[in-house]
Each structure stands twice: as structure tokens, then as C-alpha cells.
């Protein structure tokens, strides 16, 4: 399974349009080679370099297993047009929150999980709740990483 973005290469800088310094819209993402037996997909974007520890930028779960990715500027709110559900980021908002590091170079991991079931979680679920619900359900995972420095 693979996750990538046409907006930036893996382990390269994320363009400012996708950060708090500009439009703060979500980057387009592409998914490929999802296992045929997947029942749903989950996406987690986080920054392990944040001063307060891991900072969650985006949570999406119950994506259809045949989703080819996510479009640029995915809408905020509890549900996406394809029926996927959004969790709460570290700003306690639903949807995407772009890189906004206080200082230094930070790494932003986009992690995609293929799951054997849909998750019984409400909109606004936290990373902790997502990870607990995914226990024993992950068929495959993939990630890509972008960097950002102000």
C-alpha cells in the first residue's frame, strides 16, 4: 500500500499553501495498492517534533477502501463527501490544520491504515480513540512525510 501527494515529494518540504502561513488547506493525497480485503481506510497526520509532544493535524476514518485519495482543500466538518468521518486535531477542530511550527524544522507524517472493518467512532474522535479502535484491525499501513520550517 502507498500514500503520496502530488504537491510534495516524500521527505521534502510541504508548500506553504498547505500551512498556517498561507491558505492552510489540506494537500491532495493519493492512495494505491490498498489490500482487496480492506473494509475501510484511516488517515492520521501528526508532528512528533512539536514542543508539547505529538501534535495531531488531521484524522480521517471510515474512508471507503476504494478511495484513490483525498482532494486538495478537503472540507472541515464531521463528514467528507465520500462518507468518511473526521476526528479532532490538536486545535480541537474537525478537519485539517496545516503545519504551523513555532521554530525549527518539523516533520509531518501522513499515515494511511487499511482496516478489516469500519470503526465505530463518532466525529471528533481523538488520536488516542482512533488508535484504540484500530487495535487488531490493521491489515497494512503506509506513510509519507513532509517537512516545514518557518
Q: What is the mean pLDDT of the chain?
A: 97
- Residue 52, pLDDT > 90, answer no
- pTM equals 0.97
Domains of the chain: 2-148 (3.90.280.10)
* pLDDT band at residue 69 using 50, 70 and 90 as cut-offs: very high
- Residue 56, pLDDT > 90, answer yes
- Residue 31, pLDDT > 90, answer yes
> How many of the other CB atoms lie within 10 Å of CB of 137?
16
- Residue 11, pLDDT > 90, answer yes
Residue-wise pLDDT for 83-134, tens only, equals 999 999 999 999 999 999 999 999 999 999 999 999 999 999 999 999 999 9
Ramachandran sector of residue 77 (left: φ over 0; alpha: ψ -120 to 50; beta: rest): left
Compute the chain's Rg from CA coordinates: 14
> Distances from the Cα of 3 to the Cαs of 23, 67, 77, 100, in angstroms?
23, 11, 23, 22
Instruction: Specify the pLDDT at position 72.
Output: 98
Task: Please name which of 37, 31, 30 lies closest in space to residue 1, comparing C-alpha atoms.
Answer: 31
Cβ within 8 Å of residue 76, ≥6 positions away: 86, 93, 94, 95, 96
* Beta strand residue intervals within the chain, DSSP E: 2-4, 12-13, 29-32, 40-47, 55-63, 69-70, 85-86, 106-115, 138-148
Amino acid at each position: 500500500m502507498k500514500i503520496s501527494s502530488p504537491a510534495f515529494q516524500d521527505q521534502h518540504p510541504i508548500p506553504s499553501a498547505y500551512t498556517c502561513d498561507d491558505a492552510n488547506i489540506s494537500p491532495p493525497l493519493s492512495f494505491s495498492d490498498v489490500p482487496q480485503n480492506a473494509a475501510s481506510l484511516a488517515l492520521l497526520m501528526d508532528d512528533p517534533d512539536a514542543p508539547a509532544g505529538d501534535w495531531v493535524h488531521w484524522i480521517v476514518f471510515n474512508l471507503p477502501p476504494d478511495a484513490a485519495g483525498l482532494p486538495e482543500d478537503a472540507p472541515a466538518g464531521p463528514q467528507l463527501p465520500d462518507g468518511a468521518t473526521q476526528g479532532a486535531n490538536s486545535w480541537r477542530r474537525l478537519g485539517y490544520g496545516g503545519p504551523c511550527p513555532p521554530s525549527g524544522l518539523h516533520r509531518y507524517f501522513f499515515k494511511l491504515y487499511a482496516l478489516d472493518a469500519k470503526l465505530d467512532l463518532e466525529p471528533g474522535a481523538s488520536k488516542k480513540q482512533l488508535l484504540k479502535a484500530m487495535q487488531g484491525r490493521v491489515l497494512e499501513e503506509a506513510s509519507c512525510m513532509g517537512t516545514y520550517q518557518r
